[in-house]
Amino acid sequence: MVSGSSFVVEGERVLLLSDSGEKLLVVAKRTMHKVRGLGAVDMASFIGKEWGSTVDLGGQAWFLVRPSIRDAIETMERGAQIITPKDAALIAMYCDVRSGSMVLEAGTGSGALTMVLAGLVAPSGKVVSYDNRKEHQAVAARNLERSGLGGCVELKGGDVTGPIPERGMDAVVLDIMEPWKAVGTARECLRASGHLASYSPTANQVEMTVRALRDRGFREVVSLELMLRNMVVGEGGIRPSFDMLGHTGYLTFARRL
Amino acid sequence: MVSGSSFVVEGERVLLLSDSGEKLLVVAKRTMHKVRGLGAVDMASFIGKEWGSTVDLGGQAWFLVRPSIRDAIETMERGAQIITPKDAALIAMYCDVRSGSMVLEAGTGSGALTMVLAGLVAPSGKVVSYDNRKEHQAVAARNLERSGLGGCVELKGGDVTGPIPERGMDAVVLDIMEPWKAVGTARECLRASGHLASYSPTANQVEMTVRALRDRGFREVVSLELMLRNMVVGEGGIRPSFDMLGHTGYLTFARRL
Amino acid sequence: MVSGSSFVVEGERVLLLSDSGEKLLVVAKRTMHKVRGLGAVDMASFIGKEWGSTVDLGGQAWFLVRPSIRDAIETMERGAQIITPKDAALIAMYCDVRSGSMVLEAGTGSGALTMVLAGLVAPSGKVVSYDNRKEHQAVAARNLERSGLGGCVELKGGDVTGPIPERGMDAVVLDIMEPWKAVGTARECLRASGHLASYSPTANQVEMTVRALRDRGFREVVSLELMLRNMVVGEGGIRPSFDMLGHTGYLTFARRL
Amino acid sequence: MVSGSSFVVEGERVLLLSDSGEKLLVVAKRTMHKVRGLGAVDMASFIGKEWGSTVDLGGQAWFLVRPSIRDAIETMERGAQIITPKDAALIAMYCDVRSGSMVLEAGTGSGALTMVLAGLVAPSGKVVSYDNRKEHQAVAARNLERSGLGGCVELKGGDVTGPIPERGMDAVVLDIMEPWKAVGTARECLRASGHLASYSPTANQVEMTVRALRDRGFREVVSLELMLRNMVVGEGGIRPSFDMLGHTGYLTFARRL
């Protein structure tokens, strides 16, 4: 992200981007690495190359790109349905997540939202992320390691519907099956004025969560959904895309007061 | 944002939030301040109060709330149509704006997007924001000052369709009438892998901008729109809101490679 | 609707359309009629005038327009929330309502959907419309009379959650609070292959109706919503409208087999 | 459509509907017919069977269903992109198409919209449909024949951007590449108060058509798009469908006055 040298430095993450849009996230270090479709690649060969220049791998030109958080998400290992960037972005905005924020997340899943939050709270903030499914934690740990975004993250096992020790958090983000059961815990963890976000696919989950938030005295309770539609520019002009993801999840927000 | 004392400290911004959802952004300092609808209010009276507690003003209870960036936008002085949080959030996400980022913005307008970007790049990054309309600059300067988010911002007069001195920027964000005319300048200002975003209300603007970006060799050019719809939970159950903003603007993104 | 004389004939309905888009539905007959905003108007003065020509009323030019079903809906007396043309159109399409169809409706409300259905089944079909609220029936009766669309309609009092005498209907259209309670009755009224439609604002109503339809062996059960957004063509080009109705109701369809 | 005998009569169209939702449109007549996937089927075997009952074909149960217009569209032979039922329904509604209407269509395409219009104007109205592409006309003719909806339809070759003989039409429906070029012809063909509809995928087409309509003095010019999203009811509750068609086409409507 942050502007640095114009050349790839040893140890940096590099996004390899092909002409057809394929993406591979690697680390420029002195090892050979087996890359799907490309065989063994000498990762050291990228060191000292200029950012934005191309290298030839497997007979194809690949751009050397500084990876963004979205690149990390698009190239991550998937063990569960992951949150989309549009939803992650709105959660971060509505929860006021920025450098220094203390954020509690439940559940971690594959770590997509964790990476977004970690990227935003760095370098001085922290993301504590709970998941009681061991296999998800393992996937998330690998994704955080691979993306280099794990520095501010603490992965924890356990269930946030019961008591947990965190206090004074700036934000609590819920991506669990029964978020209404975690509203009480969330209240205890949040500082005054702190933000809660919950992500749920069904209208039933939203209704129960909203009622629980109102019952617990949360303020500024709003639920919404974001629909993203691409525009296509072709020879004949401009039109909305025929392809569209009809639904990801509903977002519910509230503030502890 | 960041968790600090549980009590309001002199000099801090305080959001006054009424039961009916009215919001006022003030500074806790030793002066009287005339507030619309409340008359003269002693700003020193908030110092030492607990965050989340209420004060009585004009016969009504007001919560003392730590203001978020969204609060700053919702309470800002408006001299021009401002960008919505959903669009600002996606711009920040797709442009990978985070602590330390160097961002170029054109035009400043009332400074809503500037505040979002400034809040995210702080404390070590910077937002350079151009506008060639003096009255907008004045409004934006007041909004940045009032919100306390102006520390990382440099406001500049001038037109980004011609040459400007900035180089190596991580992101360029355009909110101008003819963004296709600024694509060349944007290219010069951006570092390799850097992100461009453009916000435009009409399909015609999007089409011209996309064609200009393709002509200039930008990669990962995508245009889209975000539709946000609230959900309403009432006695009878849950349904989408009848009220909806049908359109804000199209977003176009690209990467310099 | 149907092409007839080029001139207004005594007894025909006439839509008066002003330059600003105001609409008044009147009957060309030999009486004076008090029209809101225009005072007493001689309705006979329209007889023999050419369709599409203008008359001067109250210092303003009004077009003499052959009214469509939509004109009838837009100018009707409203005693309850009425269905939008987009939803009425899809109901008619998915229920295969056309000339000769036998349709059962519950509840009548102000008669907006009744008018659409009546216009489509004419001249040989029939719409039987139930409502157990007397005041709605009275409003609907007036709207049907005024629009001239009532010829094929039979208004009935009563509740379709219990037994009713109709059999062999081509379609049953439900716009009631608890449509799931009327699914059994609907099944008895419908011929084999007949269509059911239900219109409901909340997701909870949809869920209960869908489950009831599945339980009763209905086929091709689908629920959906239609979002309509206008496009605005102005000097600067074309864009979606800022104004949009976020939600009207969900539509559920099924077929008796 | 219209309620008739409870038993399939020789010569009637029959929709075969399988448990998995597969649909086949056949005619109950004394011939063998080769059906894709089922081999030779004796069409006479359906005669006298009760509507809604099942027959065994290829080891699977198939319902005998009275076909709707939508069934005809879903089972038609496709030679070109066809209009969706939601768009066809709104065109019919906004153009006030009903029994007896005289409708001009250009271009015919595969005849999907033609079938909808023909089903609605029957038995006393007429649809004149132009297409200057011979192969489309042939496909449309077969689809109209097969569906039994062709009785009120006249297919014509030719281009509606030049003069055509039709006059006094109730509605003109355009589904052509450059609808703005046909606006003058449409005006000549329409009776006063008559309706025009145009269906176009791109925003550019809409803009040019709207400007042409305004220039020619059309009234009540509106453009819009309809978005249809399914709702899914599953064990976990109700949510919008992940699958969604993002765009079909924009609809533009106007009235000749």
Q: CA-to-CA distance for C83 and C173, rounded, in angstroms?
A: 12
> b/e for A189-216, b at 16 or more Cβ within 10 A?
bbbbbbbbbbbbbbbbbbbbbbebbeeb
Q: Which amino acid is at C14?
A: V
Pick from D155, D159, D82, D138: nearest CA to D113: D82
Tell me the sheet residues that pair with B26: B14
pLDDT tens digits, chain D, 257 residues: what are they? Answer: 445 789 999 999 999 999 899 999 999 999 998 887 888 999 999 999 999 999 999 889 999 999 999 999 999 998 778 899 999 999 999 999 999 999 999 999 999 999 999 999 999 999 999 999 999 999 999 999 999 999 999 999 999 999 999 999 999 999 999 999 999 999 999 999 999 999 999 999 999 999 999 999 999 999 999 999 999 999 999 999 999 999 999 999 999 99
Q: Which of C92, D1, A237 is nearest to B211 (CA)?
A: A237
DSSP, res C168: S
What's the DSSP call for residue B209?
H
Residue contact B207–D204, C-beta within 8 A: yes
Closest residue in C to D192 (Cα) is C52
**How far, in Å, CA of C242 to CA of C253, rounded?**
31
Six-digit token pair at A253? 């927000």
* CA atoms within 13 A of residue B199's CA, in its CB half-sphere: 28
CA C70 remoteness from chain centre: 8
User: How far away is chain C from the Cα of B228, in angstroms, using its nearest Cα?
Assistant: 10
Contact between C12 and D135 under an 8 Å Cβ cutoff? The reply is no
Q: How many residues does chain C have?
A: 257
Picking from D161, D171, D197, D189, the residue whose alpha carbon sits closest to that of residue D103 is D171
Name the minimum distance, in Å, from the CA of B105 to any CA of chain D: 28
Which residue is listed with tokens 């109250």? C58
Alpha helices in chain C (DSSP H): 69-74, 85-94, 112-121, 134-147, 183-189, 203-215
Task: Give the ipTM.
Answer: 0.96
Q: What six digits make up the tokens of A245?
A: 């993801």
Gap between the Cα atoms of A26 and A43, Å rounded: 8
pLDDT of residue B81: 80
Nearest CB among A1, A116, A170 relative to B2 is that of: A170
* DSSP state string for A212-253: HHHHTT-EEEEEEEEEEEEEEEETTEEEE-SEEE----EEEE
CB-CB contact of D160 with D149 (8 Å): no
For the entire predicted model, the pTM comes to 0.96
CA A34/CA A114 separation, integer angstroms: 27
Contact B146, B173 (CB under 8 A): no
**Could you report the per-residue pLDDT of C13-67, keeping only the tens digit for each?**
999 999 899 999 999 999 898 887 888 999 999 999 999 999 999 889 999 999 9
- Residue C57 in contact with residue C37, Cβ under 8 Å? no
Q: pLDDT > 70: what percent of chain A? A: 98
Partner-chain contact B207 D207, CB within 8 Å: no
Structure confidence by residue, pLDDT tens digits, A118-156: 999 999 999 999 999 999 999 999 999 999 999 999 999
Task: Pick the residue of A81, A227, A244 with the most D CBs within 10 A to test the interface with D by mutation.
Answer: A244
Report DSSP letters for C103-122, one per residue. EEEE--TTSHHHHHHHHHHT
Rounded Cα gap, residues B179 and B176, in angstroms: 6
**Would you state the pLDDT for residue C185?**
98
At residue C1 the predicted structure's pLDDT band, cuts being 50, 70 and 90, is very low
Cβ contact (<8 Å) for C207 and A207?
Answer: no
Minimal Cα distance from C205: which residue of B?
B237
Burial of C138 (0-12, 13-18, 19+ CB in 10 A): middle
Residue with tokens 């005054």: A192
Q: Which residues of chain B have pLDDT under 50?
A: 1-2
Contacts of D204 in chain B (CB under 8 A): 203, 207
Listed in sequence order, the residues at least 6 apart from B144 whose beta carbon sits closer than 8 Å to its beta carbon are B111, B114, B115, B118, B150, B153, B155
Chains near A with 3+ CB pairs less than 8 A apart are: B, C, D
Residue type at C178? E
Rounded alpha-carbon distances, angstroms, from residue D215 to B217, D209, D223: 40, 10, 16
Question: Quick one: tokens of B80?
Answer: 């021009």
Distance CA A93, CA A117 (A): 11
- Maximum distance among all Cα pairs of chain B, rounded to whole angstroms: 62
Is C240's CB within 8 Å of B229's CB? no
Residues in CB range of C29: below 8 A, 6 or more apart: C10, C11, C43, C44
SS3 state of residue D98? coil
Residue of D nearest to B224 (CA): D246
Predicted confidence at residue B5, as pLDDT, reads 84
Element (H, E) at D212: helix D203-215
**Among B123, B125, B238, beta carbon nearest to A207:** B238
Q: Are C189 and C166 in contact (CB under 8 A)?
A: yes
State pLDDT tens for residues A164-202: 999 999 999 999 999 999 999 999 999 999 999 999 999
Cβ(D35)–Cβ(D26) under 8 Å? yes
CB contact at 8 A, B17 and B23: yes
Interface test with A, best of D238, D244, D251, D252 (most A CBs within 10 A): D244
Give the residue on C whose Cα is nearest the Cα of B240.
C247
Total beta-carbon pairs less than 8 A apart between chain A and chain C: 5
Distance from CA of A180 to the nearest CA of D (A): 15
Annotate A143-178 with b (16+ C-beta within 10 A) or e (fewer): bbebbbbbebbebbeebbbeebebeebbbbbbbbee
Q: Which residue of C has its CA nearest to B250?
A: C239
Which long-range contacts does B17-25 make (Cβ < 8 Å, 24+ apart)?
B17/A219, B17/A220, B17/A257, B17/B62, B17/B63, B17/B65, B18/B60, B18/B61, B18/B62, B18/B63, B19/B60, B19/B61, B21/A220, B23/B71, B23/B74, B23/B75, B24/B62, B24/B75, B25/B67, B25/B71, B25/B72, B25/B75, B25/B146, B25/B147
What are the structure tokens assigned to C195, written together?
Answer: 């269509």
Most C CBs within 10 Å, among D93, D120, D126, D147, to test the C interface:
D93
Instruction: Find, among C182, C186, C179, the residue nearest to C251 by Cα.
Output: C179
Both tokens of residue D71? 């069934």
Q: D240–A229: do the CB atoms touch at under 8 Å? A: no
pLDDT confidence of residue A85: 96
Which residue of A lies nearest to C224 if distances are taken between CA atoms?
A246
Cα–chain center distance at D147? 11
D235 chain-A contacts, CB cut-off 8 A: none
* Own/partner pairs, C238-243, CB within 8 angstroms, 24+ separation: C238/B202, C238/B203, C238/B204, C238/D203, C238/D204, C238/D206, C238/D207, C238/D210, C238/D223, C239/B201, C239/B202, C239/B203, C239/B247, C240/B225, C240/B246, C240/B247, C241/B246, C241/B247, C242/B245, C242/B246, C242/B247, C242/B248, C243/B246
In angstroms, rounded to a whole number, what is the distance separating the alpha carbons of residues B60 and B19? Answer: 8
Residues of chain A contacting residue B206, judged by C-beta atoms under 8 Å apart: 231, 233, 238
Give yes or no for residue C3 having a pLDDT over 60.
Answer: no
**Integer Cα distance of A197 and A171 in angstroms:** 8
Query: How far is C203 from chain A, CA to nearest CA, in Å?
Result: 7
